[in-house]
Amino acid sequence: MTAAVMAWALSQLASGQRVVLASVVETAGSVPGKVGARLAMSLNQDWTGTVGGAGLEMKVLSRCRNLLVSHHAPFGEVLRFGLNKGAKGYEVTPLDSLCGGQVTLSLEVMIPMPHVLLMGGGHCGQAIAASLDALGWKHSVHDTRSEFTDSSLYPNAVFRSSDAIDAYFSNETLQSMTRFSDVLLLGHDWSEDQQRLLKLLAMFSVNEALPDGVSGPRIGVIGSRSKWQAFEKTCKNEGISQEILDAVICPIGLNIGAESPEEIAVAVVAQVMASFKKVDANASNWRL
């Protein structure tokens, strides 16, 4: 059972789903689930496994749901239950049960690692891909020039596409794009990046319903502030709201004076990491 639950949880993570893993870590007396019993629940609230069933399991499943949809929930916690409505003791939650024992469970929120879509396979895209590889994060690449999506340049890409921009987006929706944590527009031609941006932001404009706790990918654009001002004007003329435009990051990358593709990659990947870990990269109180 443990192997099956873990395999299922890993498959959900691989598909971009957040997962909570609940494990029985300690028991005393009579309990329905022994040490090592596990269940896992994904963000779409599918679940598998068991921690013993009955009222205990209902409580655990309810807490799993809360952890999955909360943007401010802890990444883990320990729960202790007394399987008797009169149970007492330090940090023990009583349950209406006749088992009479106590059970301790750990709940761990597992977050899928970033999967970055590089829309532009030139020098910066290649340098960013190398940095993502070093972190063990996933990336995919799209470039209308097939020679810049070659496996020799992107050997570890999840997928490589050289479709025309209209063709690439013809089968994509906001829901399907949630498999990416970030979409970076790195094209060799500003008009291609503008076209990509319009396609992406149009998805956010249709108010497509996403599951609780799920948001679309972060969007970043390489280039100057003046380039962004031109893009912003075009997008507004196409009906894109200011609220949606304000969520786009341009220029991408932390301000570390980066110039070469490799330096730009450090700045960009550091910014992605800060967003992923939900930390303020500009804060001055870093501690070793």
Note the pLDDT of residue 280: 81
Which residue bears the tokens 């396609």?
199
Ranges of H-type helices in 75-220: 123-135, 165-169, 174-177, 190-205
**Mean per-residue pLDDT, 87-110:** 67
* H or E stretch covering 79: strand 76-82
CA-closest candidate to residue 128, choices 277, 266, 274: 266
Q: Which pLDDT tens digit goes with each residue over 57-72?
A: 888 999 999 888 876 6
CB neighbourhood size of 20 (10 A):
26
* H or E stretch covering 10: helix 2-14
CA-closest candidate to residue 132, choices 181, 82, 90, 79: 181
What percent of the chain has pLDDT above 70?
A: 87
- As a whole number of Å, the CA-based R_g of the chain is 23
Average pLDDT across the chain, whole number: 87
Q: Which pLDDT tens digit goes with each residue over 125-160?
A: 999 999 999 999 999 999 999 999 999 999 999 999
Q: How many Å apart are CA 159 and CA 15, to the nearest integer? A: 14
**Mean per-residue pLDDT, 72-95:** 64
Q: How many Å apart are CA 172 and CA 200, to the nearest integer? A: 9
Give me the residue spans of the domains in the chain: 2-110, 115-277
**Mean per-residue pLDDT, 150-171:** 96
**Mean per-residue pLDDT, 221-226:** 92
Q: Which pLDDT band holds residue 87 (cuts at 50, 70, 90)?
A: very low
The full 3-state SS of 220-267, as one line of letters, equals EECCCHHHHHHHHHHHHHCCCCHHHHHCCECCCCCCCCCCCHHHHHHH
What percent of the chain has pLDDT above 90?
A: 59
| Angle (deg, nearest 10), helices 225-237 and 190-205 | 50
Note the pLDDT of residue 53: 72
Tokens of 223: 């280039």
Regarding the domain with residue range 115-277, which homologous superfamily does it belong to in the CATH classification? NAD(P)-binding Rossmann-like Domain (3.40.50.720)
